[in-house]
Copies of this chain bind each other. A is one copy, B any other.
Amino acid sequence: MAVRAAVAGASGYAGGELLRLLLAHPEVEIGALTGASNAGQRLGALQPHLLPLADRVLEPTTPEVLAGHDVVFLALPHGESAAVAEQLGDEVLVIDMGADFRLKDAADWEAFYGSPHAGTWPYGLPELPGARAALEGSKRVAVPGCYPTAVSLALFPAYAAGLAEPEAVVVAASGTSGAGKSPKPHLLGSEVMGSMTPYGVGGGHRHTPEMIQNLSAAAGERVTVSFTPTLAPMPRGILATCTVKAKQPGVTAESVRAAYEKAYADEPFVRLLPEGQWPATASVYGSNAVQVQVAYDAAAGRIIAISAIDNLTKGTAGGAVQSMNLALGLDEATGLTTIGVAP
């Protein structure tokens, strides 16, 4: 078997990480690579770490260029995927790494993205209840956002087990690659190094409704999420610190841990760490692993669940490959690793 894959949007960080993973995938052959303003440029100038592809030249993102592939990955700006996807046949596996098809509620989409809702595709987070089955054999996949990946995996076991009140508080730190490759003054190295700073505070971040959607489904009731993202001085990684008030009485440290052990007993990429060891973004650098730990603070009456992922791997491109594997009927872990590049 040789799966021929095209990547639309190969010059950005998501596209570059996807290519890094596809180059290591034993069943994939890399086909067309496209860009917008970068069409015509050598990939070696844009992604100098991808030496085996250095002499490939980016093509424009057109139906003709994307035709003739088994899989097409869309690493495009939010709102641009629907138009491209429409031009691809139903027999082609289309994996959207943008936000366009993640949300079920059209009103949420319109409130946060300001354009008409394009639809909803199977959601590429197989660890969520029911999600894996929906991905198997699917021809369309919506890859989750990086923050919702980290937050949903940290918190859904508590909600699924009925342990948590429906008001989550999340503070997450992200590496700068999450903000993309488009140069902006506040993303300069000079600004970023040595600084922690929040953004999108107060409910405005576009990933908020996606978290609410996932956690509400797990809880079986409407969950609110107070979400504060912060920009951290590192290129990659998300550390999501999530706290929820425990449903009283009866929640104990033991019942909390048992819920997480059950949720992650058989997951190939999620590791509930031994008690006393906490997630670190460095430990999952470049890997598809999710490190999770949970504690119960009896004095405050709250469950604290913390996850670490690589925002570009499990948070974007690794999640896309994991979903592709499921959609194609391959072993879910093909071409992916749980081993981080550290120190």
Contacts and interface: CB of A to CB of B under 8 A. Distances in A.
Interface of A: 13, 16, 20, 23-24, 44-45, 47-52, 54, 167, 169, 171, 173, 175-177, 179, 181, 183-185, 187-199, 201-203, 224-226, 228, 230, 232-237, 239, 241, 243, 245, 271, 274, 277-287, 289, 291, 293, 295-302, 304, 306, 308, 337-343
Given A13-B190, A197-B239, A239-B198, A48 B277 contact: yes
Across the A-B interface, the 9 shortest Cβ-Cβ residue pairs: A189-B192, A49-B340, A195-B282, A202-B295, A183-B183, A171-B171, A197-B280, A49-B342, A196-B239
A283 B50 CA distance: 8
A193 B235 contact: yes
Contact of A286 (B169, B197, B341): B341
Nearest to A208: B299
Contacts of A241: 171, 198, 228, 230
Contacts of A197: 239, 278-282, 308
A339 B52 contact: yes
A7 to B, nearest CB: 15
A167 B235 CA distance: 34
A181 B167 CA distance: 39
B193 A233 contact: yes
A85 to B, nearest CB: 27
Nearest to A225: B300
A2 to B, nearest CB: 19
B226 A194 contact: no
A103 to B, nearest CB: 15
Given A49-B284, A189-B235, A198 B278 contact: yes
Contact of A194 (B16, B52, B193, B297): B193
A248 B44 CA distance: 34
Contacts of A280: 48, 195-197
A188 B176 contact: yes
A70 to B, nearest CB: 22
Given A201-B278, A224-B300, A241-B230, A49 B283 contact: yes
Residue from A54, A202, A297 whose CB has the most chain B CB atoms within 10 Å? A202
A23 B339 contact: yes
Contacts of A304: 201-202, 226, 228
Given A181-B188, A196-B308, A202-B295, 7 more contacts: A13-B343, A16-B343, A49-B339, A167-B300, A195-B234, A198-B239, A201-B295
A235 B340 CA distance: 14
A271 B181 CA distance: 25
A307 B131 CA distance: 39
A246 to B, nearest CB: 11
B282 A49 contact: yes
18 contacts: A20-B341, A24-B339, A48-B280, A51-B271, A51-B338, A173-B196, A183-B187, A187-B188, A192-B193, A194-B285, A195-B282, A196-B232, A196-B308, A197-B278, A197-B280, A224-B299, A235-B342, A236-B343
